[in-house]
Amino acid sequence: MALPREDLDGTIPALRGVAEALGSFRLDHSCADPRRKALRSRIRDYLVPRLLDPDSALVVAVVGGSGSGKSTLLNSLARKRISPSGPLRPTTAAPLVWTGEGLPPTLGGFPALLAGRGVVSDPAPPEGLILVDTPPPAVAGEDGRPAAIAVLDAADACVFVASGIRYADASGWELIDLA
């Protein structure tokens, strides 16, 4: 549901103010500092851009452990090999975005995607949908954080993929709590 324009005009500056306030102090003696930084990032990098463009495509992160079938699922949906899959682990080393509408602002924190690497648009996914194939949680992104977690922070929804082989070792299941 989109906010009325008059509400949006007051909400966006207020949220930006909250994000800046959260970044203006440090609590080294407390374990709350990482959570405060995460909240600030979520407001600034996800909530504000999403409110500014509520009609943009739904961003869906496809997450799971290594070898669970994330890329195979995307390839099946596209009816074309758009994401490499195979026996080597991990096969997906960086996020791959399947989009027909370009990148939304919430995915602007991924410089490689902005440079055009890891973006597939042929064939286009269903209208209004962007799917992101993520590396397994053990693969770190450019900022040192697991890339799958960074994509989850930028996504509107999540599809968790598990296989019979990886089900027993609970590989990737910590992503469900984050989602």
* Cis peptide upstream of residue 123 (ω within 30 degrees of 0): yes
166 confidence band (pLDDT: 50, 70, 90): low
State residue 132's pLDDT score: 92
pLDDT band of residue 8 (cuts 50, 70, 90) is low
Give the residue-averaged pLDDT of 63-80. Answer: 89
The model's pLDDT over 28-50, given as tens digits with 9 standing for 90+, comes to 555 556 777 777 777 777 777 77
Q: What is the mean pLDDT of residues 9-32?
A: 68
Q: What's the mean pLDDT when you consider all of the chain?
A: 78
Q: What is the rounded CA–CA span in Å between residue 50 and residue 57? A: 10
Model-level pTM? 0.72
One-character DSSP codes across 99-123: -SS---GGGTT-HHHHTTTTEE-SS
> Cα separation of 91 and 88, whole Å?
6
